[in-house]
Structure 1
Amino acid sequence: MEINNNNPNNISSRTDRKLIERKRRNHMKALYSDLNSLVPHNNSRESISLPDQLGEAADYIKRLQTNLERMKQRKDSLISGGQSMNIASSSTGFSPKVPQIQIHEMGSSLVIGLTTDTHSRFIFNDTIRILHEEGADIVNASFSVVGNTAFHTIHVTVGELTPDYQGIAVTRIAERLNKFIYDAHA
């Protein structure tokens, strides 16, 4: 039995296979290029062979997985560390630092000193929120951490108000902040 290579069906199917193979190769080349663009490179100007590029990508993925596992473990230890600190503080009698606030009035400006422990991060955010709700303009906010204590300093202007209303606004802000700090500790 003789195969006729000149059969139009054979030529068409061969052309189709070649076209399909060319599309597959181009698609794979595009995928390799995308993969290669995602992997950080050392600044070598020489071109790297495809197997070496794939090896670098595999190594990079393994490093990312290792880093992810390490970060998950660190997160878990930080979360459990915070819980164990709360358990330890209740069993040993050690309690977190009581938040304190000092408010100093200087004309239309206020300087607010806030002292908290480093585990009470929400107190600073809520203090800023209260100041915004009261219409105060925050000029500067800074903090420093010493040991387990965070010291926050917030400079605020109450605005262009009449002196009578300014005193009322300052008093209202001070009352709200003191109440908030008291409630946060209770």
Structure 2
Amino acid sequence: MERKPGSSRADRKTTERNRRNQMKALFSKLHSLVPPQSPRESTLSQPDQLSQAANYIKNLQVKVEKMREQKERLLEIEKISTSMKNGEMIGFKSPEIRIQKMGSILEVVLVSGLDGQFMFNETVRVIYEEGADIVNASFSNVGDAMLHTIHAKVEDGDSSDERVSQKLQKIVNDAYGASS
């Protein structure tokens, strides 16, 4: 069977034209998925459109990661709050304190009613009195409760966690009564 030299060339041209048309359609579809950034965008070249789409995808990835981290933090706050509520309205009961020592870091989690600023101030005062240096402190409003988290640096081998816990429990009992 003999081949005509012209037919092979025509087949290649047709195949290449089809490939270019398919790529053009795919570029157009990708560009239509990217929100417009400026009015002159319709005149962007294909390489610029691809670059814009790549940047848009990278920005979406960063946003998704930030949202995932925020979700994890919120779930942790909800988990702590739920574990400390014991089925009661937390805004109407005495504060609850959880102290955990992780190496040289002392983590104090205080869950109180919305009026718990006094307990937060007392907690900070007790931590300082025990010689710990507060590294950071944060709070969140969870429903009708305030969740305060304090991280303090303590000396290795120090029993600050026990002393802080005893003093804070005494403050809670004195201020809110031992009935809780």
Normalising by structure 1, report the TM-score: 0.44
TM-score (norm 2): 0.46
